[in-house]
Structure 1
């Protein structure tokens, strides 16, 4: 989430009219995140999120995402509901960008990462992966290691990264040739960060805009990186959390031996993917003057450090 496109008064009027919102409905910029434009809308006693897509993707793939969210909701996975406007559509266009109105997920972001929270996330991911078998969402722009490496390789990386260059590129060489294509695949969330998980009466996931067809263990690797390893716990605590998380996941969906063997490589790959994403966002793309969350790739270098034992 971020704000790249500023909604004019006319845009806001159109949104209010199309979705039967009150004339006084208030639009508040959401600066968290770095990929799309998002506004919180307060309308009397209700809240909504308006998302404007900045990825220049095909409309068809975006509509598949909305259908997938409806499908998950119908099958017991709590995620945002999409509203249909007065034209009978799930979307509208502003400056040739696709906008959607979602219900506001009530609850609180996770502050204390513990075994209970990890069990709930694992269970939800297992259900999503089981439900996504046989379904597909192709992405022209996606959170993917090769995609972002292609972007950042067009600039002088050594000059940008300086003392970090050899360290990062050495890790990239370790993982770039690994073939994950034979692993079980389906639609993965691909962005399971604490910002995208809400705890209320039940656990809810938001921001599926980077969901895509990929090996299921990508979601597991993201959680292990950005919920567990990033916290700098003791090695014993880290092992305990990873064990609880994976055991809870396997109560919903059993991992194959091939997935277990490649999980450590996928953990490294997802860490590098988000490092490359941040490098691209802040050193390659021109985002001056945009209201967006500032995140340095350096914060993620801890995920590349040696010493993590093999999980399986």
Structure 2
């Protein structure tokens, strides 16, 4: 989430009218995230999130995402649900950009990582992946290692990364030629960080901006990296948390032998993917004047510094 397009008073009036919001419904910028413009809307005792699509994505694929979210909700996977407006559509256009109104997910962000939390996220991801069978969402702009490497390779990486260059590029060479293309695919969340999970009456997933068709173990690798490894738990605790998470996932969806074989490599690939993403945001893209959260790649280097034990 971020703010690239500032809504004018006229835009806000149109949104209020089209979605039957109160005249005094308040629009508050949300700076967290990187991809689309997002506003929190407070209307009397209710809250909503208005998302305006940036990045020139294919509208047809975006509509598939909205349908998928409603399908997940209908099948006991809690996530934001999109509202239909007075025109009978689940979207509108502002400056030729598609806008959608979502319900606000109530709950608390995950502050403490333990076995109970990881069991819930493992079970939820297993259900999500099962429900994604036969569905596909393609993205032109996406969270993908090759996509971001192409972007950052246009600059002098040795000069930009300095002492970090050898570590980052050395680990990149380890997975550069690994073929993940034959692994089972489906719709993955692709951004399953703790701040995209709310704990309320049930566990809810938010921010599907980057969901797309890809190898399913991508989501598992992200959880292992950004829920467990990044916390630098003692080795035995780390192993136990990973085992607990994967066991809960496999209760819903069994991993195939080829997925287990490549999971460790996928963990490395996804660590590098988000490092490359942050390098791109900091050194390649021009984000001046945009209200957005900027994170440094350096805080992710811990994911590369130590060789990970075998998972299976």
Q: Structure 2 length normalisation: TM-score? A: 0.99
Which residue in the other structure is 1:61 paired with?
61
Give the CA deviation at 1:36.
1.3
Mapped to 1, the partners of 2:34 and 2:290 lie a distance apart of: 10
Q: How many residues align?
A: 312
1:53-103 CA-to-partner distances (Å, cap 9, x unmatched) read 112101000000001101111111101110011111111111221111000
Match of 1:253 in 2: 253
Give unpaired runs (5+ residues) of structure 1: none
Asked if 1:152 is matched to 2:152, the reply is: yes
2:83 matched residue in structure 1: 83
Runs of 4+ that moved beyond 2 A: none
Separation in 1, partners of 2:180, 2:243: 22
The residue correspondences of 1:120-131 to structure 2 (distance < 5 A) are 120-131=120-131
Q: Identify unmatched segments of 5+ residues in structure 2.
A: none
Task: Indicate the residue corresponding to 2:232 in structure 1.
Answer: 232
Which runs of structure 2 are paired with 1:27-176 in the superposition (5 Å)? 27-176=27-176
What is the rounded CA distance, in whole Å, between the counterparts of 2:146 and 2:77 in structure 1? 30
Distance 1:70 1:190 in 2: 18
- Within 2, Cα distance between the matches of 1:274 and 1:238? 21
Q: What does 1:186-265 correspond to in 2, within 5 Å?
A: 186-265=186-265
Aligned equivalent of 1:184: 184
**CA RMSD of superposed structures (Å):** 0.8
TM-score (norm 1): 0.99
Find the aligned partners of 1:307 and 1:142 in 2 and give their Cα distance.
27
Aligned partners of 2:305, 2:133: CA distance in 1, in Å?
34
Q: Distance in 1 between matches of 2:247 and 2:305?
A: 25
Q: Compute the displacement of 1:307 (Å).
A: 3.1
The separation in 2 between residues aligned to 1:42 and 1:215, in whole angstroms, is: 38
- 2-structure distance, mates of 1:159, 1:307: 26
Work out the CA distance in 2 between the residues paired with 1:138 and 1:290: 27
Partner of 1:282: 282
